[in-house]
């Protein structure tokens, strides 16, 4: 059913070449270097199917919108520096499980986003 296309390859490669979360428009731009005709509708459709296939994860940035990153990297959180506007990955999980839910509630997933100033911006 699933067909291998040069478009899908180009999109995957975009994530393998950059090791940071990418926006849709970045994927489109990077992908076009490989496949000139690459269309944004194709990017959207492939990102969706790659998420469903478990190859990508969606990051919902509260201010900058949707990013995608390789699922492989395991659970972690994100930090947005409002000085340099870059997105950082915070390894591990700083959540206390016990205090994460009301009694009887089942927590299946969570997303954490930090905002502030990164080390290089803070030192100047």
Partner DNA sequence: GTCTATGCAAACGTTTTGCAGTGGG
Partner DNA sequence: CCCACTGCAAAACGTTTGCATAGAC
Residue whose structure tokens are 């690459």:
38
**Phi-psi region at 92: left, alpha or beta (left = phi > 0; alpha = psi -120 to 50):** left
Question: By CB under 8 A, is residue 96 in contact with a copy of itself?
Answer: yes
Nearer to DNA, 48 or 95 (CB): 48
94 lies in the site for a copy of itself, by CB under 8 A? yes
Among 4, 16, 41, 63, binds a copy of itself (CB under 8 A): 63
Minimum distance, C-beta of residue 1 to DNA, in the bound complex (Å): 5
Give kind and range of the element (H or E) at residue 38. none
């Amino acid at each position: 059913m699933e067909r291998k296309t040069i478009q899908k390859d180009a999109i995957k490669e975009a994530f393998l070449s950059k090791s940071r979360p990418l926006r849709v428009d970045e994927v489109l731009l990077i992908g076009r270097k490989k496949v000139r005709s690459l269309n944004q509708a194709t990017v959207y459709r492939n990102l969706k199917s790659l998420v469903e296939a478990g190859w990508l994860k969606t990051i919902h940035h509260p201010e900058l919108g949707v990013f995608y990153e390789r699922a492989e990297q395991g659970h972690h959180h994100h930090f947005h520096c409002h000085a340099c506007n870059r997105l950082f990955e915070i390894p591990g999980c700083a959540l206390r499980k016990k205090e994460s839910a009301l009694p009887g509630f089942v927590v299946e997933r969570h997303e954490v986003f930090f905002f502030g100033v990164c080390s290089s911006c803070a030192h100047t």
